[in-house]
Chains A and B, each alone.
Chain A
Amino acid sequence: MNNQLVELKDLKNNPTHRVPVCLCLDTSGSMGAVTGNFTYTGKTSFLDGKKWDLVDGGTSRIFELQQGVSLFFEAIKEDGTAKYAAEISIVTFDDTAKCLMDFTSLEDQRVPELTLGDNTSMGEGVNLALDLLEKRKQMYHQMGITYYQPWLVLMTDGEPNGNPAELDRAISRTVDLVKKEKLSVFPIGIGEEADMAMLNRFSPARRALKVKELKFREFFDWLSGSLIKASQSGPGEKVKLDVDSIQGWGEL
């Protein structure tokens, strides 16, 4: 035969299996807390239910988080499969919950700027994140696109102080989805003041992880590596997440 029995033009074009990921990020006032070299200004402020000393200099949690998210995007874009498979949205929660970035092709996405608010409406944030993931799955169904289990990454440095009923509803929905193996949830506590007991209520399958300040880069490096593995998994192939290693550096 002139050419090969099967040529590239003969093949069906199936969309890459998608992995929808929602980063649900705390942008409450406490995320402005700084470490490193700073000087006190002598002024104070009341934010997120607490009194804070105002300082000059240092590196804030939200700045590091912003850098970590950017690195996460870059790592995914560099992987040949994951850049087409991963679809990422960002929900932030402070006084209210906001969809800062909706799902779309990673190539078209730019990491939006994270800005500080005041309170910690965690329940509202998680509910919005779950709504977005559900909507995305419905879109996949309608378009005939196959997909993997969605991921919810919840990151906070404090205690929720939004609507208690919304918080209970968010915990109940998340736990129900995780138990039915319809969602992978990664609750991450930032710093010493994170309410780990509360985060654990979101996660019946694995314990919430604590990431110390300025360790976001390592966390997002781990997260992108795990996402790349997941995007290449086949039927019956459960991706083993190396949670032990992340726990190790998280406690440094």
Chain B
Amino acid sequence: MWKLVKCAVQGRGHVKAGTPCQDKVCTYTGNGVSVIALADGAGSARLSHFGAQRVTQFVCEEFSDHFDDWFQEPDGVLVKKQLVQKILEQLTDLRQELNCELRDLASTLLVVAAKEDCFLLIHIGDGVIGYWRDGELKVASHPENGEFANITFFTTSSNAISTMKIAKGNLGNIAGFVLMSDGTAESFYSHQTSSLAGVLAKIMKMTLIFPQEKIEKDLLESFEQVVIQRTHDDCSLALMVRPTDSFTGFEDLSQEEKCDVLEINMLTPDIKKKLARYTKIMRMINRRPSCTLVSLSREIHLKPKYTRKYLMNVLRCGLIQSCKNGHYKSSVK
């Protein structure tokens, strides 16, 4: 039910210095659990990209395999201690493989896992965790820095347990979660108002409308061309989103958003009527296993030769796929 997407881009400073992208993201679905994880390797730690990679993979597997155990444990301090211990065990193994010090593998960590109506949230260090509920974006966990901008806490820090933030609860109307590294937060989080950029809601909506591959490709393009220009640091993001009563898909977009998705001008004559036809087409395709030109033509009360133009446009935009025998189906199902 959840759709998961991720993106990580090497920062300008790291390109210049020849250091690898130290931001790592991982998404995982298994055992009825969906998990997104992000780790930002410490700039001062020479192999932190390996540490970040290992930690994100580990937490995805751990929460997928043992979600109920973690969720049902009432003692939050015990959860923090056990999780840090397991992370350090993973990093100790990796340290031996790489013949390095534990501190060389330091990274932040941001995780959200969801199963049925329950969620878990873990945060060590900086970066931001946000959520989307009833059409509103809110911050679930703010960046944890010391007094100065270049000070934060890592998985290997002696105070990892005391600075770790954890949360759990029922999802209710929560439709999405987003994790971002501090590099991305420079663009999507206001340090002055502690609020998130509205474009994250757009990304969540688009994730529900388009196939994962297209969203990840578009995200990567946006990050490479826009987001990394705001910082020297690596930029990464992982999000998970699901349809809810307040947003099910294309038909719940605003007129402006529909025009944006369909690549048509808002000032086109009879735009309202045209958008209503597009909406009917998308609703029918989303609700039925497959549709034909003729069935869609009947639905929108338009001759097939005109209906074909509408179909070709939604096909071109990637909202639907053509199947055998002249049938069409949604791209996201």
Residues of chain A at the chain B interface (Cβ within 8 Å):
1-8, 10-15, 17, 81, 143-149, 182, 232-238
A11-B43 CB under 8 A given contacts A234-B150, A236-B152: no
A4, A144, A145, A232: which contacts B225 (Cβ < 8 A)? Answer: A4
**Which one, A1, A3, A14, contacts B190 given CB within 8 A?**
A14
In this complex, the member of A3, A10, A81, A148 whose beta carbon has the largest number of chain B beta carbons within 10 angstroms is A10
| In the bound complex, CA of A113 to CA of B70 (Å) | 65
- Those of B114-149 within 8 Å (CB) of chain A: 125-126, 145, 147-149
Taking the complex as formed, is B251 at the interface, i.e. its CB lies under 8 A from any CB of chain A? Answer: no
Q: Hey, which chain B residues are within 8 Å of A2, CB to CB?
A: 259-260, 263
The answer to whether A235 touches B126, judged by C-beta atoms less than 8 angstroms apart, is yes
Report chain A residues within 8 Å CB of B93.
none
* B44 interface residue (CB < 8 Å to A): yes
Min C-beta distance of A151 to chain B, whole Å = 12
With A235-B145, A235-B150, A237-B44 in contact, do A10 and B199 touch (Cβ < 8 Å)?
yes
Residues A6 and B226 in contact, CB atoms below 8 Å apart = yes
Is A144's CB under 8 angstroms from B219's CB?
no
Q: Is B13 an interface residue (CB 8 A)?
A: yes
Q: Shortest beta-carbon distance, A11 to chain B, in Å?
A: 4
Q: Which of B163-171, B227-235, B290-298 contacts A (4 or more CB under 8 A)?
A: B227-235
Give Cα A232–Cα B126 distance, bound, in whole angstroms: 17
Which chain A residues border B2 with CB–CB below 8 Å?
none
Q: Give the interface residue-count category, chain B.
A: 35 or more
Given contacts A1-B261, A1-B263, contact A12 B190 (CB under 8 A): yes
Instruction: Find the B residue at minimum CB distance from A11.
Output: B187
Partner of A148, one of B149, B232, B261: B149
A7 CA / B191 CA spacing, docked (Å) = 20
Inter-subunit contact A12/B221 (CB<8 Å)? no
Known: A1-B263, A5-B221, A146-B145. A234 touches B43 (CB 8 A): yes
* Residues of the A chain whose Cβ atoms lie less than 8 Å from the Cβ of B218: 1, 4-5
46-82 of chain B: CB within 8 A of chain A = 48
Query: B148–A149 contact, CB under 8 A?
Result: yes
Additional pairs, 11, CB under 8 Å, beyond known A12-B187, A144-B191: A1-B260, A6-B203, A11-B230, A12-B188, A12-B195, A12-B197, A15-B191, A146-B149, A147-B148, A235-B126, A236-B43
- The one of B42, B150, B197, B219 that contacts A11, using a Cβ cutoff of 8 Å: B197
Closest chain B residue, CB of each to CB of A239 = B150
Beta-carbon nearest neighbor of A19 in chain B: B149
Q: Contact check, B192 vs A14: say whether CB atoms are below 8 A apart.
A: yes
Q: How far is A14 from B194 in the complex, measured between Cα atoms in Å? A: 11
Task: Kindly name the residue among B48, B106, B232 whose own CB sees the greatest number of chain A CB atoms within 10 A.
Answer: B232
Contacts of A235 in B (CB 8 A): 40, 42-43, 108, 125-126, 145, 149-152, 182
Complex CA gap A237/B45 in Å reads 8
Q: Which residue of chain A is the closest to B11 with respect to CB atoms?
A: A234
List B residues 252-309 near A (Cβ within 8 Å).
259-261, 263
B191 in contact with A14 (CB, 8 Å) = yes
User: What is the distance, in angstroms, from A146's C-beta to the closest C-beta of chain B?
Assistant: 4
B154 contacts across to A, CB distance below 8 A: 236
A89 to chain B, nearest CB (A): 18
CB distance from B315 to the nearest CB of A (A): 15
Q: Is the CB of B199 within 8 A of A14?
A: no
Assess whether B30 is interfacial by the CB under 8 Å rule: no
User: How distant is B143 from chain A, measured CB to nearest CB, in Å?
Assistant: 9
The 24 listed contacts between A and B (C-beta, < 8 Å) are A1-B317, A2-B260, A2-B263, A4-B221, A4-B226, A6-B219, A6-B223, A6-B227, A12-B190, A12-B196, A13-B190, A14-B186, A14-B192, A148-B149, A149-B150, A233-B43, A234-B150, A234-B183, A234-B232, A234-B233, A235-B42, A236-B154, A237-B43, A237-B44
Interface centre among A14, A81, A182, A235 (most CB of B within 10 A): A235
Q: What residues of chain B lie closer than 8 Å to A8, measured between beta carbons? A: 226
Provide the bound-state CA to CA distance between A132 and B170, in Å.
49
